[in-house]
Amino acid sequence: MIDYKKIYLTKTLLIFGIIFLVIFSFFGASAQEEGKEEKGKVESVVNIQADNVTYDKSTDKMIFVGNVVITQEDIVLTAQEADFDVDKKIGNIKGEIKLVQTDITITGETLEAYLNDKRYIFQEMVKLIQERKDKEEKEDNIIWNCKKLEIFTDTRNLTATGEVKILKKDYTITAEEAVYNDKEQKIDLTGKVKIEEQDSQRWISGDKAVFYIETERLEVQGNVQSGIKLD
């Protein structure tokens, strides 16, 4: 006599077994792909050292005080105090602030550091020095002075605002805002723009301008005025 109940149970178990294998194989493959993606990522580790540190678990904040040194890849940041939100990786830093990245040095009174985005916002008495050389391998540094400076250290692009003053060899450039594009090697200037050439004692002003660093080419627009100082 044929046991139909036994055959039905066997078929049911077989179907469930096949479904389980398919689901297991799918998630196993997904996990492997995710693992490959994770291996392909380059980890960015931030190291912080200081004389003293306080951790508040309730707010998830760490406060570093005294001779603070923060390193992330090619960036070295020194200060006297750093207050970090551990979860968001955002820090408020103050006291003798200095950021060094290869040929760039930035100082300021206060700093907001967004470590995940490699975004740094300096405020008050900001000074940035870009170490450069001209075609003849002579020093041709660019010095920025402003009230506020935002820089992305991965692209090296930056925005300076508030009484911006840029010094480059024979040029003195002033504006209300200056946006620097590192890849294109140009500075977009807006608001009371004035460019003075020291040796020739010439100057030109306008509402906005573009200064091309490599060629020293200048484009000025809006209410343009120019003058030459006579002997």
Contact 126, 108 (CB under 8 A): yes
Which CATH number applies to 46-228?
A: 2.60.450.10
Alpha-carbon span 196 to 170, nearest angstrom = 8
Q: Does the pLDDT value for residue 45 go beyond 50? A: yes
Tell me the pLDDT tens digit for each residue of 47-98.
Answer: 999 999 999 988 889 999 999 999 999 999 999 999 999 889 999 999 999 9
Question: For 102-216, where are the E strands, in sequence order?
Answer: 104-114, 119-130, 142-152, 157-168, 171-181, 186-197, 202-212
| Cα separation of the two ends of the chain | 123
Tell me the pLDDT tens digit for each residue of 121-143.
Answer: 999 999 999 998 887 888 889 99
Contact 180, 157 (CB under 8 A): yes
Residue carrying the six token digits 């390193």 = 71
Q: pTM for this structure? A: 0.78
31 confidence band (pLDDT: 50, 70, 90): very low
Q: Say what the pLDDT of residue 135 is.
A: 79
Q: How far is CA 95 from the centre of its chain?
A: 20
Q: Which two tokens stand for residue 62?
A: 């760490």
